[in-house]
Amino acid sequence: MSTHKRIGILTAGGDSPGLNAAIRGFGKTAIGHYGWELIGYRDGITGLVNNRHIPLDGAALSGILTVGGTILGTSRDKVHKFPVDGEPVDMVPTVVENYHKEGLDALILLGGGGTAKNAKRLVDAGLNVLHLPKTIDNDIAMTDTSFGFATALEIATDAIDRVHSTAHSHHRIILTELMGHRAGWLTLGAGLAGGADVILIPEIPYTVEKIVETIQARTARGSSFSVIAIAEGARDVDDTADFEAARLLAKSARTPEAARAAKSHLANVEDSQREHTFRLARELEAATGLESRVTILGYVQRGGTPCAADRLLATRIGAAAADLVAAGEFGFMVAARGEGTEPVPLSEVAGKVKTVPVDHEWVTAARKVGTGLGD
């Protein structure tokens, strides 16, 4: 057993199935196996800045394995740009002060890509920090998968399964929009598992003409309907060019004024493309003569009971994080590696996104079974 330690834990970013399972996995190992004290910060970085926390003991962790969301609450605040009276303020020094005031030996952050960046900033400030990877998008770099993804994949696949019957009955094209701004793992996986006829993801810009070709080929074979799985971040070739140009402009801005103007332009471009799924539905209806309808799953993908795979993954990662604290190893993300885990330096994770390689085996499998990818 290790000597007594006092550990803080929080959940940040969007909610996700498996967060409570990970809190429990870390907490039960920390308390029951190592004999440490655990406190939970309320509402993510907000609680860390305002020093709002609650004690977590065995009773608090009991019964949360199967519960969706997070018992601690969450927020998307950034530690170095925390909103104070409407202005972004660097609160890293305040967090460092609170950390030492509470006598913490380590801080555990559960979250996605933004949380990894917050964790890295706190590591750079000299704190003992570990990051546990959570996201339904599966887009965190340097980990095989993240808890939340498997559950969202089941929910999205079930939705695609269900729209097949109504598409077939009404001879319609049904477009099911799934989450994934930057990475198409969820849409690609659910599209493959659900037997979607067309899958559209951010990594592969599409053209309406190619999608129409796929649908018309199905019609020629006697199929009177089509199901399309489309990521919220999927774009056609022209929109992709506009978005990439705006993003490049934002990255290359050299003055504060230019940066603000470029970010505003990028936001306007993104806003103009938000209803791309509805626009595509209208274009396909005009080109094919088939009625087209849109189903947007939205936050349904984040909610509810985590599946068995996510409960298992979250528990393993949580327990492994406690072992790293016991070993005095900090500044890492606890990555999933096969059936094990591996500490990866946060410097190799923060600011990176794991996108779908265009030659990934899921992509090649989709092409081999005749699924259209819009290119």
Residue 190 · residue 370 · CB < 8 Å:
no
Whole-number Å distance between alpha carbons of 36 and 5: 5
Strand 37-41, strand 53-56: pairing: antiparallel
Handedness of CA 42, 47, 52, 57 (dihedral sign): positive
Handedness of CA 75, 66, 26, 137 (dihedral sign): negative
In 3D space, the residue among 137, 147, 124, 121 whose CA is nearest the CA of residue 178 turns out to be 137
| Apex 179 CA angle, 237 and 305, nearest 5 | 165
Q: Which residues pair with 132 in a beta bridge?
A: 110
In 3D space, the residue among 292, 247, 296, 299 whose CA is nearest the CA of residue 270 turns out to be 247
- Angle formed by the axes of helices 113-124 and 92-101, nearest 10°: 70
Active site residues: 137
Q: Which CA distances in Å does 154 have to 19, 310, 312?
A: 17, 11, 15
Residues contacting residue 90 through CB under 8 Å, at least 6 positions apart? 80, 81, 82
Whole-number Å distance between alpha carbons of 167 and 225: 6
Whole-number Å distance between alpha carbons of 234 and 178: 10
Query: What is the number of H-type helices and E-type strands within the chain?
Result: 13, 13
